Structure 1
Amino acid sequence: MSLTLDTYRQLGRSGLWISPLALGAATFGNDWGWGAEKDEARRLFDLYVERGGNFIDTAVTYTNGTSERMLGEFAHGRRDSLVLATKYTTLRTPGDPNSGGASRKSLNGAVETSLRQLGTDYIDLLYLHVWDFTTPVEEILRGLDDLVRQGKVLYVAISNTPAWQISRMHAIADLRGWSPLAAVQLEYNLIERTAERDLLPMARELGLGTVLWSPLAGGVLTGKYSRQDLTTPDATAAESARKGFNLALGGITERNLAIVDVVKEIASDLNRTPAQVGLAWTLQNPAVTSPVIGARTSAQLQENLGALEVEFTPSQLTRLDQASAIELGFPHAMLASDHIRAQTRGDITFATHR
């Protein structure tokens, strides 16, 4: 059954309702060499909101603050109907160690900066953006809870953090009566499926909403790259910036292009685009709440929103799953093996609860 942007989903166990696709505002502004100028960014915002979208994702340092400033301007007059999500921990001032990281000082400075840039007096959803491996979890959780109690932040969440730390933080917040984590943001797409090992099962068990960044693998799943791109520099400056980023992160590889080949075949069968197939595949997973769309043009956004209407056959889903399958790794592969099942259950039949 096809969806619409106003087919709202509950974010984890919170009372917050969000669209099934989020609008990523990291493309607002071309400070990084590949984003949208202000007029085009405004068209992106208007198109998304007019279709019923309410969930917009940014961060304090996206496009050097331009993203939040543009978003705040665009949201003026309809702020309360939108769910604005931003993030802290990335370095705001080069050379200042306390302007980045997860500390309380970094947190408070980032939130005050975001409030000014967004032109608002509260943030709907605040993520810890990147785990820093140094700040005690109690400092992070108490700092977040203080901001919620002050009314500057409504819900707190976490991104790019090991599953064991998130589950530990969830338990500590629960035991101490601090604001619970409402969601986790993570990378998940047909090319990067390792979240299936721990992060997605953890989110399901703890009742965390799951928001996906890079659901099209940095654009690789749109089908715009070929095997020639593994060795040949590309033509335009904007595309070079994105391609260089994808190459540096290992996104353009023979394995990944083979996955894209299957995506293209299924897109052709469905009379859809590869981007629509890639996005729609993430929406098939009941553990996924809302992927973030990172469009640079209104045409791209219009295309991406078409993913809400894609319906797969079981055989098409099987082909996509098989083409992109990953090794479960230890202990997951062992625990799922027939040998262990025989050792722990023998031939006993059990009723399933879920």
Structure 2
Amino acid sequence: MPLDHYVTLGRSGLRVSPFCLGAMTFGEDLGWGSSVEESQQIIDRYIELGGNFIDTANFYTKSHSEKILGDHIGRHPARRDRLVLATKFSGNLYPGDPNGGGSGRKSIVSACDNSLRRLQTDYIDLYWLHNWDVHTPIEETMAALEDLVRAGKVRYVGVSDTPAWKVAQANVTAHFRGWSAFIGLQIEYSLLERTVEQELVPLALEFGIGITPWSPLKSGVLSGKYTRATAGSAKPARGGFVEPFLNEKTFTLVDALEEIARAHETTVARVALAWVQGRPGVTSTIIGARRLDQLEDNVKALEVKLGADDLARLDALTKPTFGFPQNMQPIFPAIHNGGTRVNGVQMPPSPFILQKGEKPY
């Protein structure tokens, strides 16, 4: 599957590439990241390969990420209109200003106008709530976003890093009031981060929200760079994000990824990316490339087709154990439909079912 085999994002008509280009590393303002020149080369190559979906945020690299995109794309309307540009609000760039971030109306409108200025465009294709603001009623946030949509400044809205129950509340509120609802759910998702499968992934499947995973390689932990052999010598640039995961569990997983990669004549990173992209509900996985060669390597993950044995092996190593109510799921079919055939599947008998001739009390 190449980058130009577009898919619709959730239950919407917005067509995006199966891999989204993450721009969090555009700019060297935080001491790591891509130079302006290399960022431009990465953008050009991604578009050349057929990609059309680019994701950033108002405070990535102190807002330099948006400016790099604006300088490179925003000045060319024809090129801009062929792309799906996504950015986020919530992050506060102004120390001491209580309204400089969050999800209140004042903050959202200001953040949107500043993002439009930096991106050098008059509309944002997909505007993400970056993370839940516990101090703002969700009705206020959704109403402000609806106003931006009606004003033509925003085309679609999405949500990132927010509890499932709050996303459900937001979308139900929007549906009942005729407002724009979230069509995308941006969450951390990888072989080392599967807790989202307890609530957030089922939410997305039920509501028809397209999942766009971030950090599918767990900040590079699953890139193939960190193995038992290199554990002492490979010093991560973002130590705080990487070092806590350089342990026996991870190295056992990387060993398995290496064996699967050899069998498919590919790389560890591509196998890890292919696993994420193949998960239920996933529309477009965000790949963050700091170098052009990383982009070239990661895009080839779309060619990797994992078999049932590969998936079962990775599942056995990484599937988390969930508590209530997920641990009750095997019992529910028997309680609901014990001993009958439903949708072509024979249900197990229930221990609570009445025997022949018995009557309920």
Q: Report 1:141-290 matches (<5 A).
A: 141-227=142-228, 235=235, 239-240=236-237, 242-247=238-243, 250-290=244-284
| Cα separation, 2, equivalents of 1:271 and 1:214 | 24
- Structure holding more helix per residue: 1
| Cα separation, 1, equivalents of 2:344 and 2:161 | 33
Matched, 1:341 2:327: no
Unaligned runs of 5+ in 2: 346-361
In structure 2, what residue type is equivalent to 1:138?
A: E
Tell me: CA distance 1:141–1:324, structure 2 relative to 1, closer, same or farther (3 Å). Answer: same
Partner of 2:313: 319
Q: CA deviation at 1:229?
A: 7.7
In structure 1, what residue type is equivalent to 2:164?
A: A
Kept in 1: contact 2:225–2:234 (CA 8 A): no
Partner of 2:49: 51
Partner of 1:27: 25
Partner of 1:332: 326
Q: CA deviation at 1:192?
A: 0.5
Kept in 1: contact 2:186–2:213 (CA 8 A): yes
Q: CA deviation at 1:255?
A: 2.0
> What is the DSSP-based 3-state SS (H/G/I as helix, E as strand, rest coil) of the residue aligned with 2:221?
helix
Partner of 1:7: 5
Q: CA deviation at 1:352?
A: 5.7
Q: CA deviation at 1:268?
A: 1.6
Partner of 1:42: 40
Tell me: CA distance 1:246–1:311, structure 2 relative to 1, closer, same or farther (3 Å). Answer: same
Tell me: CA distance 1:169–1:229, structure 2 relative to 1, closer, same or farther (3 Å). Answer: farther
Q: CA deviation at 1:121?
A: 0.7
For residues 147-191 of structure 1, the C-alpha deviation after alignment (integer angstroms, 9 at most, x for no partner) is 001111110110000001101111000001111111111111111
Partner of 1:68: 66
For residues 189-237 of structure 1, the C-alpha deviation after alignment (integer angstroms, 9 at most, x for no partner) is 111111111111111111111111111111111122245887x5865xx
Range with greater deviation from structure 2 (182-191 or 341-350)? 341-350
> What is the DSSP-based 3-state SS (H/G/I as helix, E as strand, rest coil) of the residue aligned with 1:5?
coil
For residues 31-71 of structure 1, the C-alpha deviation after alignment (integer angstroms, 9 at most, x for no partner) is 11220001111110011000110000000000011100011
Identity %: 47
| Cα separation, 2, equivalents of 1:102 and 1:253 | 37
Kept in 1: contact 2:116–2:124 (CA 8 A): yes
In structure 2, what residue type is equivalent to 1:192?
A: E
Tell me: CA distance 1:199–1:267, structure 2 relative to 1, closer, same or farther (3 Å). Answer: same
| Cα separation, 2, equivalents of 1:229 and 1:172 | 51
Q: CA deviation at 1:286?
A: 3.4
For residues 230-261 of structure 1, the C-alpha deviation after alignment (integer angstroms, 9 at most, x for no partner) is 7x5865xxx33x122323xx433332232222
Task: Give the TM-score taking structure 2 as reference length.
Answer: 0.91
| Cα separation, 1, equivalents of 2:187 and 2:3 | 21
> What is the DSSP-based 3-state SS (H/G/I as helix, E as strand, rest coil) of the residue aligned with 1:258?
helix
- Which structure would you say has the larger RCO, counting Cα contacts within 8 Å and 6 or more residues apart? 1
| Cα separation, 2, equivalents of 1:49 and 1:212 | 20
Runs of 4+ in 1 over 4 A off after TM superposition: 227-230, 232-235
Range with greater deviation from structure 2 (219-228 or 12-21)? 219-228
For residues 295-347 of structure 1, the C-alpha deviation after alignment (integer angstroms, 9 at most, x for no partner) is 10010000000101001221111111111111122101112x2x443333222
> What is the DSSP-based 3-state SS (H/G/I as helix, E as strand, rest coil) of the residue aligned with 2:316?
helix
> What is the DSSP-based 3-state SS (H/G/I as helix, E as strand, rest coil) of the residue aligned with 2:116?
helix
| Cα separation, 1, equivalents of 2:125 and 2:344 | 38
Task: Give the TM-score taking structure 1 as reference length.
Answer: 0.93
In structure 1, what residue type is equivalent to 2:253?
A: I
- The alignment covers a number of residue pairs equal to 342
> What is the DSSP-based 3-state SS (H/G/I as helix, E as strand, rest coil) of the residue aligned with 1:276?
helix
Partner of 1:134: 135
Kept in 1: contact 2:86–2:127 (CA 8 A): yes
Which has the larger Rg?
2
Matched, 1:16 2:14: yes
| Cα separation, 1, equivalents of 2:270 and 2:322 | 27
Q: CA deviation at 1:18?
A: 0.2
| Cα separation, 1, equivalents of 2:162 and 2:295 | 29
